Amino acid sequence: MYGVNRNNITDPNTNNYTFSPVTFNDEWPKVWRLVIMVTMATLGTTLNGFFVASFFVERPLRRAGLVYLACIGLTDMLITAVILPVASVVLLSGDWDNVRVCNVIQCLGMSAVYCYSLFFMFTAIEEYLRVCCSKKVYRMVNRCNVAITTIAAFVLSFSLGSVGVYLNLDYDYCERLHYGNIYYRAISVVMLHLVPCFFTIYCLCAAYLSVRRRAASQPSYRRSFEYGQDKSIAALNLTTYATFFFAWIPYLIISFNLGSASNDQYYNSIWFGHGRAVLATSLYSILDRSFRRAFSHLFNYCCCKNNLSGPLAPRHRREYCTRVRLLQPNMFIARSAQIRLAGRARAASLIRETQHL
């Protein structure tokens, strides 16, 4: 069983061996746990998949800087599409003591949290430069290769997560037998949590306040579509990061005294933090116009349409008509010629009838 090393127990509250780090509390009915896992995995994967696909469907969301926001959805999708289904399979198999599976889940979970922290920092910095700085500075920074930055963040996060788990440098999540290396834990926390948290909160708050001040001083900006988009994204990013921060507050409190925390307290705090990934991206689909429109198109295509044909949205009709005229000019010319000939024929017939009378 997973549990605390009996030789190191100093608190009687830690004498709890009924909680698995993979399949929740064994005292809960197995059917309930399976329903919870499958529901969270299905709902979270669908919402996160729609969130990532929105950047390909909606034109206003195709800005280069929003790639980092799409990567945030990918990291949440890693939890809902990989970790939760694997936990469901482990629950069905009844294999509690497979430490290797537990290590994989720990590695993926830690790497996903690292990625989330880094990508939110990049998103906040991009938003701050776009809103608070000049267009020249924003273009200069935007010239950096977003793909290289994204790949580097993924590689760094998964490398540190793997090293911490498989070299026993991080806290022993599966069996709670050791506390890991204090230097590694300090470096990883400072580099991947504290520093990104400081930059993220500062940039998000500064960007939101800058949008409000500009709207108060420039009536034309306040009436523009750009203001609504900037305000919505700034407020949503701030709210979403706040949910991420407060979801992991219980674990931060417990981490200060890991030895005296029971298995229930420790594992519940971690699963509570991972559970945030299920509904976090739904805030964008509810509160932002572009994401809401993209979600509606995706839902309509996946669930309601029987074929690829269908009525066009009003905002696409003009573009469609323009394309048709450009692609098929001969058809319109021939039609116009037919109309003119028919008109002349009717006029000639009317003249003949008049002369006959």
Q: Which residue has the higher pLDDT, 175 or 143?
A: 175
Contact 248, 271 (CB under 8 A): no
Q: Check whether 283 has a pLDDT greater than 60.
A: yes
- What pLDDT is recorded for position 62? 76
Q: Which of 56-65, 168-177, 239-248, 276-285 has the lowest mean pLDDT?
A: 56-65
- What pLDDT is recorded for position 313? 47
Burial class (CB in 10 A: 0-12, 13-18, 19+), 315: exposed
- Convert the pLDDT of each residue in 89-142 to its tens digit: 888 887 665 788 889 999 999 999 999 999 999 999 988 988 888 777 777 766
Question: What's the maximum distance between 2 C-alpha atoms anywhere in the chain?
Answer: 121
What's the rounded Cα separation, in Å, for the pair 120 and 113?
11
- Convert the pLDDT of each residue in 183-235 to its tens digit: 998 888 899 899 999 999 999 999 999 998 988 888 888 888 888 888 888 89
Q: What percent of the chain has pLDDT over 70?
A: 77
Q: Which residue has the higher pLDDT, 10 or 80?
A: 80
- What pLDDT is recorded for position 323? 47
- What pLDDT is recorded for position 302? 80
Sign of CA dihedral 325, 327, 328, 329: positive
Q: Is residue 336 very low, low, confident or very high in pLDDT (cuts 50, 70, 90)?
A: low
Q: Check whether 5 has a pLDDT greater than 80.
A: no
Q: Which residue has the higher pLDDT, 323 or 51?
A: 51
Strand-pairing partners, residue 25, are: 19
Q: Check whether 77 has a pLDDT greater than 80.
A: yes
Q: Which amino acid is at 17?
A: Y
Q: What is the DSSP letter of 313?
A: P
Q: Which residue has tokens 């509570």?
A: 272
Contact 145, 224 (CB under 8 A): no
- Convert the pLDDT of each residue in 21-68 to its tens digit: 888 877 888 899 899 999 999 999 999 999 999 988 888 787 766 889
Q: Long-range pairs for 291-295 at CB < 8 Å and ≥24 separation?
A: 291/51, 291/54, 291/58, 291/61, 293/58, 294/50, 294/53, 294/54, 294/57, 294/58, 294/61, 295/50, 295/54
- What pLDDT is recorded for position 17? 53
- What pLDDT is recorded for position 206? 93
Q: Check whether 325 has a pLDDT greater than 90.
A: no
Nearest to 68 by CA among 119, 125, 116: 119
Q: Check whether 165 has a pLDDT greater than 90.
A: yes
- List CB contacts of 212: < 8 A, sequence separation 6 or more: 231
| Helix (H) / strand (E) containing 326 | helix 314-327
Q: Which of 80-84, 249-253, 318-322 has the lowest mean pLDDT?
A: 318-322
Token pair recorded at residue 114: 């690292």
> Within 13 Å of residue 194, how many CA atoms lie on the same side as its CB?
8
Q: Check whether 76 has a pLDDT greater than 70.
A: yes
Q: Which residue has tokens 């963040």?
A: 153
Token pair recorded at residue 37: 């896992």
Q: Check whether 13 has a pLDDT greater than 80.
A: no
Q: Which of 73-77, 167-171, 259-263, 284-288 has the lowest mean pLDDT?
A: 259-263
- Residue 190 CA, distance from chain mean position: 24
Q: Which of 1-5, 300-304, 333-337 has the largest mean confidence?
A: 300-304
Average pLDDT, the chain: 80
Q: Where are any strands of DSSP class E within the chain?
A: 19-20, 24-25
